[in-house]
Amino acid sequence: MKVKNICCIGAGYVGGPTMAIIAQKSPEINVTVVDINEKRIAAWNDPDVEKIPIYEPGLAEVVAEARGRNLFFSTDVDAAIDAADMIFISVNTPTKTYGMGKGMAADLKYIELCARQIARVAKNDKIIVEKSTLPVRTAEALKRILDNTGNGVNFQILSNPEFLAEGTAVTDLHKPDRVLIGGDLDTEAGREAIQALVDVYGHWVSDDNILTTNVWSSELSKLTANAFLAQRVSSINAMSELCEVTEADVQEVAKAIGMDSRIGPKFLKASVGFGGSCFQKDILNLVYIAKSFGLNEVADYWEQVILMNDHQKRRFAAKIVKTLFNTVSGKKIALLGWAFKKDTNDTRESAAIYVADYLLNEQAEIVVYDPKVTKEQILADLDYLGTRSEEENRKLITVVNSAQEACKAAHAVAVMTEWDAFKTLDWEAIYEGMLKPAFLFDGRRLLDKEALTALGFEFYAIGS
Ligand code: UDX
Ligand code: UDX
Ligand code: ADP
């Protein structure tokens, strides 16, 4: 079958960019992205395409090209489900914050609500595609809900995990390392559904890069990929601490091991800790799944990746306190960057949140500058932790509009996100405006140690 109408439920960081590219590359397919969040949909429809709710390099151009032609954003979920032959589920699957599996398992309530809604609305056969990262065997639960509450129509369920990284979503989608499609390879209907999705990607991805597997392998591959990537970051971060107490430099170590073709050079950048909506959530989920099968050694092994990451964030904050003569009480500390990595306005699980929280507990005054993150978001992130009252957060945190302003009269500056623009700041002027000794903490190995030390900074970088 040829897909003519696609619906995507969830207009977030995954659904929005993915559907924009599918629409751009498949002009004969109508793609409707729906969301219950009216503000978000209004932003996707903003006549000023720069105001779409997600910042990704190149995305505004893609949306400008396809929107209104064959790419639509709407809050009418039922209508879009009804019209679609293929439905992507791209809603959020946060870690559960209550009840069984609290703090570990993925909360599937949004997925289940989608499934029930699809079952209620659908009047003809549909292919359902899991796009959100889901625990292994979610497809089974989806299928049971769809088959038992539906109107007697047939559903084929595919798993098509998204591997795009934020900040590079458009290039990742245009040139994916691979597209993974899991489905029911054992039945004719299953193979047809897989082929229908292969044909969608076939508009711009070559056959060699499209991998088809059974549903469970596909679901587990997504969790595994994220666990391996996060593990590399925790491994190099563990080495960064060892480097700091020896005469080794983590960047030199990373380069040396990365040239081993079995290890490879990517994802070996020491940092203040990984963030983002996926790594921690997916590993916790993996740990939970392993434990639920009684595989305690497997669970413990992967849990270490998270423990190391928590340690890295804490030790960076503690380093600031120790260096500032064991107290930051009443001292102004500037945090440059709040996003969990450069080129995105996403702050979920960003290390900056935890470092700020730690320093606030030490009674520091925090001033934040991030080129893409709003003040509301920064305050919301801290409020969400629940460490102190919303009033206190507003009293202790200031958000400003430039790095220069953030650093004025500060005791210390800490680089939290590797925004390119931070490299070319007027560091001399920043130094002049700071209290002395002027401490600079580079949580991203972004800055030139020699040049900044020459300017007079007391300079600390992760891993050296
Ligand atoms: C290793 C390093 O590869 C080499 O660079 C270093 O100089 C010495 O240690 P070696 O022990 O000779 O070399 O063999 P290697 O090929 O690395 O295998 C080590 C063990 O890992 C073997 O038992 C091998 O069977 C096992 N292995 C390796 C796996 O189980 N799976 C793999 O994917 C790779
Ligand atoms: C990740 C996966 O890369 C992607 O395939 C999956 O679809 C979603 O999760 P994302 O979270 O967007 O993507 O960003 P990623 O580039 O993987 O970075 C995650 C975190 O690790 C960031 O905080 C980043 O700063 C950190 N990181 C990454 C390091 O600290 N060092 C590195 O070498 C790489
Ligand atoms: P991701 O990073 O996985 O894309 P986001 O949180 O950015 O996650 O996006 C998920 C989106 O899904 C949110 O905008 C949310 O409003 C939307 N959503 C959640 N549940 C439903 C639902 N039942 N129907 C429609 N949209 C939903």
What was the ipTM of the complex prediction? 0.93
* 181, 159 Cβ separation under 8 angstroms: yes
Statement to judge: residues 34 and 160 lie in one domain: yes
- Is residue 254 lining ligand 2, measured as CB closer than 6 Å? no
Residue 308 token pair = 């190391």
Round the average pLDDT of the chain to a whole number and report it: 96
Ligand 3 neighbours, Cβ below 6 Å, are 9-15, 34-37, 40, 77, 90-92, 110, 113-114, 132, 277
Q: Are residues 340 and 201 in the same domain?
A: no
Q: What does each C-alpha distance from 303 to 92, 126, 215, 252, 344 come to in angstroms? A: 22, 38, 25, 28, 27
Distance from the CA of 118 to the center of ligand 1, in angstroms? 50
Structural domain contains residue 293: no
For residue 261, the ligand closest to its alpha carbon is: 1
Q: Looking at 205, 238, 263, which one is the last position of a domain?
A: 205
The answer to whether residue 426 sits within a structural domain is yes
- Residue ending a domain, choose from 205, 226, 244: 205
Which of 274, 313, 350 to probe ligand 2 with, by most ligand atoms within 8 A of CB? 274
Does the pLDDT at position 444 exceed 90? yes
Residue 138: what pLDDT?
84
Domain assignment of residue 69, given as a range: 5-205
d(CA 29, CA 1): 13
Look at the chain and report how many structural domains it folds into: 2
What's the 170 CA to ligand 1 centre distance in angstroms? 38
Amino acid letter for position 318 = A
- pLDDT tens figures, 322-342: 999 999 999 999 999 999 999
Q: Which of residues 136 and 394 earns the better pLDDT score?
A: 394
Using the predicted structure, report yes or no on whether residue 93 has a pLDDT greater than 90.
no
Q: Both 186 and 312 in a single domain? A: no
Q: Spell out the SS3 assignment of the chain.
A: CCCCEEEEECCCCCHHHHHHHHHHHCCCCEEEEECCCHHHHHHHCCCCHHHCCCCCCCHHHHHHHHECCCEEEECCHHHHHHHCCEEEECCCCCECCCCCCCCCCECCHHHHHHHHHHHHHCCCCEEEEECCCCCCCHHHHHHHHHHHHCCCCCEEEEECCCCCCCCCHHHHHHCCCCEEEEECCCCHHHHHHHHHHHHHHCCCCCHHHEEEEEHHHHHHHHHHHHHHHHHHHHHHHHHHHHHHHCCCCHHHHHHHHHCCCCCCCCCCCCCCCCCCCCHHHHHHHHHHHHHHCCCHHHHHHHHHHHHHHHHHHHHHHHHHHHHCCCCCCCCEEEEECCCCCCCCCCCCCCHHHHHHHHHHHCCCEEEEECCCCCHHHHHHHHHHHCCCCHHHHHHHEEECCCHHHHHCCCCEEEECCCCHHHHHCCHHHHHHHCCCCCEEEECCCCCCHHHHHHHCCEEEECCC
Residues 220-263 have pLDDT tens digits of: 999 999 999 999 999 999 999 999 999 999 999 999 999 999 99
> Which are the catalytic amino acids?
278
| 235 alpha carbon – ligand 1 mean position (Å) | 19
Task: Tell whether 337 is covered by a domain.
Answer: yes
Q: Using an 8 Å Cβ cutoff, are 96 and 125 in contact? A: no
In a domain, 237, yes or no: no
Q: Say if residue 174 is in the same domain as residue 322.
A: no
Both 190 and 313 in one domain: the answer is no
Contact call for residues 328 and 357 (beta carbons, < 8 A): no
Do residues 41 and 11 lie in contact, with contact meaning Cβ atoms separated by under 8 Å? yes
Q: State the first-to-last Cα distance of the chain, in angstroms, to the nearest integer.
A: 58
Q: Which ligand is nearest to the CA of 162?
A: 2
| Residue 270 annotated as binding site | yes
What local confidence, expressed as pLDDT, does residue 282 receive? 92
Buried b (16+ CB within 10 A) or exposed e, 175-213: ebeebbbbbbeeeeebeebbebbbebbeeebeeeebebb
In a domain, 120, yes or no: yes
Any atom of ligand 2 within 6 Å of the Cβ of 169 = no
Cα(264) to centroid(ligand 1), Å:
16
Do 45 and 193 reside in the same domain of the chain?
A: yes
Buried b (16+ CB within 10 A) or exposed e, 413-429: bbbbbbbeebeebebee
Beta carbons of 412 and 364 less than 8 angstroms apart: no
Residue 300, in any domain of the structure = no
Assess contact for 91 and 73: CB atoms under 8 A: no
- Tell whether 199 and 339 lie within a shared domain: no
pLDDT given at position 134: 80
Instruction: Tell me which residue has its CA closest to atom 1 in ligand 2.
Output: 165
Query: Beta strand pairing status for 439-442 and 412-415?
Result: parallel
C-alpha span between 452 and 442 (Å, rounded): 11
In a domain, 32, yes or no: yes
Q: Whose CA is nearest to atom 3 of ligand 3?
A: 92
Residues 6+ positions from 106 with CB-CB distance below 8 Å: 93, 94, 95, 96, 133, 134, 135, 281, 285
- CATH assignment at residue 454: 3.40.50.720
Examine the domain organization and report whether 166 and 312 are in the same domain.
no
Task: Please indicate, yes or no, if residue 424 is contained in any of the structural domains.
Answer: yes
9-28 mean pLDDT = 97
Check pocket membership of 352 for ligand 2, CB cut-off 6 A: no
| Final residue belonging to a domain, choices 170, 185, 205 | 205
C-alpha of residue 263 to centroid of ligand 1, in Å: 12
278 belongs to an annotated ligand binding site: yes
Flag whether 224 is marked binding: yes
What is the rounded CA–CA span in Å between residue 81 and residue 76? Answer: 9
pLDDT tens per residue, range 174-215: 999 999 999 999 999 999 999 999 999 999 999 999 999 999
pLDDT value of position 350:
98
* 276 CA: nearest ligand 2 atom: 11
> Which of 96-105, 299-308, 420-429 is predicted least confidently?
96-105
